[in-house]
Structure 1
Amino acid sequence: MALHPSAPFPMFTPSQHDVRRFFCETYRKVQENRVLTPLEAIARDWLVQHPEYAESLSNVDEALAADYSVERGTANPFLHLSMHLSIAEQISIDQPPGIRAAFLSLAQRLGSEHDAHHEMMECLGEMIWQSQRSGLPPDGERYVECVKRR
């Protein structure tokens, strides 16, 4: 994963291939019962909850070549897992402010943290789409409000 050189603080800006390699390597390490980094341990928790992605994660070369374009109509396991990691990080640091409380309330209503993550993905995707469409920064307050409404 490459460091973004112009960032005021170091921040990771992984490429699509970096992300796919990370999840495939984590999957391999889990299968071999090897020691994981803290980030890999979080990823492992989501890999375990998504056994349907095992085939996609088992061969890094195939993963790097896979086409998950919208036109193909195939779910992208790497995007899905990345969203789980992003949401887990947001909750852990309560960023944007209020996201942790919104998540906890949603998880309690749904009776499942995993289902709450999936609902939050809809809001996260909407926030990113709106930001890209408008050219404005992501609206964290709107995102939190969306999660509260789920």
Structure 2
Amino acid sequence: MFVKHQSDVKAEPIDTTPGAKNGTIQWLINTPDAENFAMRRFVIGKGGHSPYHSHGFEHEVFVVSGKGVLVNGERDDEEIPLKSGSVVFVPGDEVHQFKNAGDDNFVFLCMVPLGEKAACGPLPTPTAEEKEEEVSGIC
């Protein structure tokens, strides 16, 4: 068991991932502390968004603050409004994107499985032992 503060976790830019703009990701809970799930914190600035993408694993999202939209690629890119307190479930293999729809930061937590199924996210700066297994991207 452990407790830490989000300010102690380095925020990594998501802009290095094709299709992403004006945002950061923090891996709040990840290996080696957890075995099954990771908790990520995204901050998407004004005009920013995650990539339009899909992946084989499901994920759960909780909107902390700001206004955003979920682009649902399974429904002709329908834009579903999101606000503080919104809860989102995205099944595996469904095309989606998160966009900031306001002037303030759009902040959300995203939980994903760890392991091979989720091996497409930017992991925190790896230790020397982890460098051989480093994976990039933010899916």
Q: Choose between structure 1 and 2: higher strand proportion.
A: 2
Q: Which has the higher contact order (CA 8 A, sep 6+)?
A: 2
TM over 0.5: no
TM-score, normalised by the number of residues in structure 2: 0.24
TM-score, normalised by the number of residues in structure 1: 0.23
Largest Rg, 1 or 2: 1
Q: Choose between structure 1 and 2: higher helix proportion.
A: 1
